[in-house]
Structure 1
Amino acid sequence: MDDTIRSNLSVWKRLQDENYFENHPCYKGISDFGGQEAIQAIEWFVPIREQMKIVVIGCGYGRETLRLAPLVDRVYGIDVNETILKKAVDYLAARNVNNFTPVLAEAFAEDVPEGIDLVFSIVVMQHLTRDLVRNYFLHLAKKLSPGGGFVVQFLDEPGVDHEKTDASNTGGGEPSISWSPWQLVDLARNAKLQFVELRTQLVTEAALWHWAYFRKQE
């Protein structure tokens, strides 16, 4: 793991230790707010099946997992430290979700098993350096079953120099990384995945969300 990836993980470890979700105005604390958009986004591209094994990159306290877990066999949730993973375990157990496996980000390449059907992520990739995103895709692509895939959301903002390696991260806060469609094509190719489809939404007056569906050849 290189220094850029370690630095990005360190930022998020600190933010999670400082109660990121409890203090963030959009998340309304540790609550059942949101999560249903995960189901909608996945079903744009693939049907959810009860035998599926899903990996959630940046699972947080488990709001997407709460919606996904009852529909599938198992969810492996990746996040940066024991602090947030314990919150996820406690939050989900209190809601009778018992098919969740927490995975530390630093050990995901070893701890996520083979035979994964889907990798999902929302509102995470824009907060990770490009090197860390590529690392996730490269290693998790190898864990996919034939025909398995990624359904992942990326941010694209106007006026951004997409040729820059990463956006600046001033003050040690959340990075904000923008991805162009062609960078997503390259991301799929580098991970040896088939670029299947991109769906784009205008989410604010100054931000697009690209939902990317990449698939492993059968």
Structure 2
Amino acid sequence: MQSITQACRDQGWPAEVAAVIANREQASGLEWAAAQGIPTRVVAHRDHADRAAFDAALAREIDGFSPDYVLLAGFMRILTDDFVRHYAGRLVNIHPSLLPLFPGLGTHRQALEAGVRVHGCTVHFVTPVLDHGPMIAQGVVPVREGDTEASLAERVLGIEHVVYPAVASWLAQGRVSLDDGKVAVRGIDDRCFGLAADGARAASHPSGGRA
């Protein structure tokens, strides 16, 4: 959330972060967002009888800001089908694996147990099927000898902070389209980002070049 907000302001996107909404009052991002002058709200799931009631309240709060897109970041709640359909084509999530590998929880443990040599993250549109929505972009990191879940998670987090702001900028610029379950991004030749073994970043740009 912080990376997206800072990139939006620093890079002059034709967009703004309308609000930051959490389901826990203790969410650290709320204090940071408020300090930036961004409206914040809390919709506590414990205050509602079931998931449907919570999702309905959450949707009412979101719709009060009339956003073009809803970006999930660290929101660890399974959303109801009605909520997902309400924001069809506008609800975006980041998942800490190279989907379709390792959906659900414990992705870094799964990657280490599987013995894969690369791991990463996926930004995708949300559908009623958990972690299976149309993919917009992916970020790739190496899995190193001696990696633990913690060390791998830290490396993946680094590439998440590259990929998600990039996707948010494409959305803000109207570059992303979703047609019949397929994603197209205009002006972007490569939607895969990587962190090299020495930590140097390689990322796609609208020109299709790399830096």
TM over 0.5: no
For Structure 1 versus Structure 2, the TM-score category normalised by the shorter chain is 0.3 to 0.5
Q: Larger % of strand: which?
A: 1
**TM-score, scaled to structure 2:** 0.40
Bigger RCO (CA 8 Å, 6+ sep):
1
State which structure, 1 or 2, has the greater radius of gyration over its C-alpha atoms.
Answer: 2
